[in-house]
Amino acid sequence: MIDRTLSSAISEMAGYYPVVTLTGPRQSGKTTLAKKLFPGHVYVNLEAPDVRDAVLSDPRRFIASSRTGFVFDEVQKATSILEYVQASVDEDPAPGRFILTGSHQPALARAVSESLAGRTGIAELLPLSTQELAAAGEDVSDRNRMLFRGTMPRLFSSGIPPTRLYSDYFRTYLERDVRSLLAVSDLDRFERFVKLLAGRVGQLVNYQSLASDAGISDRTAANWLSVLRASYVVFPLHPYHRNFGKRQTKAPKIYFTETGLVSYLLGIRSPEDVASHPLLGNLFENFVVSEALKWRLHRGLEPDLSFYRNAAGTLEVDLLMESGSRLRPVEIKASSTFDRSMTRHLAAFSALCPEADPGLVVYSGPTMPGVTASFSEPEHWCLPQ
């Protein structure tokens, strides 16, 4: 099993809180990680109907049946159990007694806020990071292969071909998660909507354009996008909040949590297809931004990621990373050859915000300290913690 960076943050939380809630997209490794970190806890898969029925038939007695603690997997399937978890930890607040995992953020977040506020630490596990893969001996230096393959754990544990995995993953998402999260009667139209989003990855969200192309209303487009966000399929990158005295873009950009899924949705079927694809730059940007997000979340930190773009679109910085009072601007380029012109927007941003750290270009070539960083070495371009 590949070691996960988030392990340290989860173990720390389990030393403070009686409950730890672990969320994230399907197949990101939540169950495997919870079992590894808490081998003495009783594992309960609440997605299995018979197990769920057995637990909910007498939840108080079930919780009292073990002194070592529980891992409740897919707890959004039986959120009523959390009321009994609350009662139990109020009687015995010993840390680390309950580990909860879930994929559906809305149901789980609502139930946790209602029943376990102040009693649980919350951690988010995304797919594998390049740092985790490199530490396990995987080659992460091939840009095209990384963008095509992605970083889902099953790719490395089972050897399943990426196209097969993402096809099954997407179909499962449509058939199971979408139907439970949203009453979508026309799954074909929803699938078209997701593929349209893939074609707009790294671009500003425009609900009117999305709705028009998908044949739905603006309100439906916003609603469907919120479902994709809630289930960790996509995430927004918001514009930097600071007021520079000029009008700035207010709309967020949209990225996919898993770049391999974007490649699949765009019809890419081999690493060779990546190099010639017209959205190569967008795919590469998605990969780098998602790596920055993993770097933060897997250390139990707030994301604190944004971008800058003025209203005229004449100045844009792809990624801004904050750490306390520090701010690092990053330009993202798919090229494997550095050109000084890549720093043009960084220089303009530095003049606008002189207190920011020196900017870096993250690209496909080798790291040149203080100027560029390789996409496969986030430790060289993420802000030190």
Nearest-angstrom CA–CA distance, 81 and 85: 6
**What integer pLDDT is reported at residue 156 of this predicted model?**
95
**What integer pLDDT is reported at residue 212 of this predicted model?**
96
* Confidence band, pLDDT 50/70/90 cuts, at residue 320: very high
Residue 95 phi, psi dihedral angles, 5° rounding: -70, 150
Cite the DSSP H helix spans in 266-343.
271-276, 280-297
Contact 111, 102 (CB under 8 A): no
| Residue 312, pLDDT above cutoff 90 | no
**Largest Cα span, the chain:** 67
Strand (E) or helix (H) holding 234:
strand 234-237
CATH number for the segment(s) 6-124: 3.40.50.300
* Confidence band, pLDDT 50/70/90 cuts, at residue 178: confident
**What integer pLDDT is reported at residue 311 of this predicted model?**
84
| pTM across the whole model | 0.95
| CA angle (301, 373, 296) in 5-degree steps | 5
Nearest-angstrom CA–CA distance, 174 and 241: 35
Query: Cα 235 from chain centroid?
Result: 7
* Confidence band, pLDDT 50/70/90 cuts, at residue 103: confident
Measured CA to CA in angstroms, residue 282 lies from 211, 290, 375 at distances of 21, 12, 14
* Confidence band, pLDDT 50/70/90 cuts, at residue 227: confident
Q: In this predicted model, what pLDDT tens digit does every residue of 2-24 receive, in sequence order?
A: 999 999 999 999 999 999 999 99
Nearest-angstrom CA–CA distance, 378 and 385: 13
Give the start-to-end residue ranges of the domains of the chain.
6-124, 130-380
Q: HSE of 160 in the Cβ direction (CA atoms, 13 Å)?
A: 16
